[in-house]
């Protein structure tokens, strides 16, 4: 995960617990770890290049980097381009591919928890 600041984030504990569970049934996950990197905005582009060169298979992007990361990578899904931001990067040999799962995740949660559809409803998602 790359963000600034990130010391408060529970994501490393949550994702590392999930990876431990996955590694019980799928040994390929045994050596996987989820790390948090506090990267100031001025260092984002360089950091993304280094993470890619080091072979990081994926990267979560959080505030304040979601918009800047989209501009710094070469490829993004249509949903990420429409959102104008990325929150997930996928490693490909030629560079990062950006995704935005925020809208899908929010819409699915609202549908499951409240049995409501957001289709055609304007939504402002912050954070």
List, by residue number, the catalytic residues.
66
Question: How far does Cα 90 stand from its chain's mean position?
Answer: 9
Two tokens, residue 41? 């905005």
Burial class (CB in 10 A: 0-12, 13-18, 19+), 29: middle
Question: 33 near 19, Cβ under 8 Å?
Answer: yes
Letter string b/e over residues 71-94, b meaning 16 or more CB atoms within 10 A of that residue's CB: ebbeebbeebeebebbbbbebeee
């Amino acid at each position: 995960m790359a963000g600034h600041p990130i010391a408060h984030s529970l994501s490393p504990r949550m994702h590392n617990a999930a990876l431990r569970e996955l590694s019980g049934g799928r040994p390929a996950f045994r050596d996987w770890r989820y790390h948090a990197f506090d990267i100031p905005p001025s260092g984002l582009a360089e950091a993304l290049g280094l993470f890619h060169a080091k072979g990081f298979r994926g990267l979560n992007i959080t505030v304040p980097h979601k918009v800047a990361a989209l501009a710094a990578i070469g490829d993004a899904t249509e949903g990420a381009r429409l959102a104008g931001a990325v929150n997930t990067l996928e490693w490909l040999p030629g560079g990062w591919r950006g995704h935005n799962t925020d809208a899908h995740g929010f819409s699915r949660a609202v549908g499951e928890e409240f049995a409501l559809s957001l289709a055609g409803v304007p939504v402002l998602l912050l954070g």
